[in-house]
Structure 1
Amino acid sequence: MADLPDVPAWAYERPEIRPPDPTWAARGSDLCAQVARLLAPWLAPGRVEHVGSTAVPGLAAKPVLDVMAPMRDLSDETVAAVVPVLSAAGWCFVPPSLDAAAPWRRFFVLPDTEGRRRVAHLHLLPVGHPRWHAQLRFRDTLRADRGLAEEYAELKRRLAGEATDREEYTAGKTEFVRRVLGE
């Protein structure tokens, strides 16, 4: 399947954990501002947020910035209007059928100029969704607890070495995330 011409290389990119990069925070902030400008007609009140491991200073991570935008709604009409705007800025829409594990969001990937590696992920969530609050709580808990952040980094390093694909890597983090969130 990876050899099919219509499947982008980044779709099969293996997770690679890198040492913390002090530029991730500024790049995340810039990306949030760009996304906020692009999505202004559809955004709910609130901020576009830099989430995920690159949003935690000092945390080893995949070099992929995750940003999350609060949407007034995620109706088919809204998504149909948003896709061409984001596509013009280089974002690739991942159809819900390929993102079935996360039905609460619409997901986009920003690849590098060669289309080989992921540079960023964009998670569109309906305003007030519990997942929105969980993402922020997880990020903020890791920011506040260096020991917990290092435990997470070790888990990610191990999983990146063992997992055969991104889905397996992500699934391997689930128990840790649930524990941090008290679920």
Structure 2
Amino acid sequence: MMPPWTSEKVVLQPYDPRWIDRARTENDRVEELLEPWLVDGVQHIGSTAVVGLIAKPIIDLIASVRDLSNISLVASGRLTAEGWTYVDPEFDAQPWRRFFIKTDTSGRHRQSHLHIVQAGGSKWVEMISFRDALRHDHVLARRYEDLKVRLAEQHKYDRKAYTMAKTEFVMAALRALPADRQMKSSRA
């Protein structure tokens, strides 16, 4: 049986300054829970990490760990006790991460995502570099926002298609970054 959050439609909201506080609270708690395994800490990524950007109201966090192979086993108990749900690879075909979500009390609406990745891997660098590019380049951020609005309408009931349709834009933005801007990982 599919969890109810798997059929949640794509809904974008205007920027909400409370997202930063929510992210800071989640970030601090996840750092405490994963401290024995963390390498580069936990960072707030995604559109909710970019002031002024329209977004799905879901806080995305990324954490890098020494050994991704067994993190779902060793960390699940700690994370589950805090309301996180491990997303089985059946529902998340992304081998580069271990994925956890936190929903509202109904279990139907996602509130937070936790992407746990291998330290030193390309996804850590890509996700943080893209966030930082959006924070520093307001023209890029507006172009991304326009794309997201169009895609949210086209793929309202297909979150996977919505996400996949943004991939080329993200990769092009990363390729266009000067080398010195590839990894300014300011915490947020």
What TM-score, normalized to structure 2? 0.89
Tell me by how many angstroms 1:98 deviates.
2.5
CA contact 2:72–2:86 (8 Å) conserved in 1: no
Tell me by how many angstroms 1:150 deviates.
1.0
**Which residue of 1 is the match for residue 65 of structure 2?**
71
- Indicate whether 1:158 and 2:150 are aligned: yes
- Indicate whether 1:15 and 2:10 are aligned: yes
What TM-score, normalized to structure 1? 0.92
Matched residue SS, 1:97: coil
Letter in 1 for 2:67: D
- Indicate whether 1:54 and 2:48 are aligned: yes
Question: Which of these residues, 79, 85, 91, is aligned with residue 92 of structure 1?
Answer: 85
CA contact 2:62–2:117 (8 Å) conserved in 1: yes
**Which residue of 1 is the match for residue 162 of structure 2?**
169
**Which residue of 1 is the match for residue 75 of structure 2?**
82
Q: Which runs of 4+ in 1 moved over 2 A?
A: none
Of all paired residues, the percent bearing the same amino acid is 46
- Cα deviation 1:20-73 (Å, max 9, x = unaligned): 0011112111111010011112212x2200000000010000000000011111
Q: In 1, Cα distance between the equivalents of 2:25 and 2:16?
A: 15
Q: In 2, Cα distance between the equivalents of 1:95 and 1:114?
A: 20
Tell me by how many angstroms 1:109 deviates.
0.8
Aligned residues: 175
Structural mapping, 1:123-142, within 5 Å: 123-142=115-134
Question: Which of these residues, 29, 36, 39, is aligned with residue 41 of structure 1?
Answer: 36
Q: Which runs of 5+ in 2 are unaligned?
A: 177-188
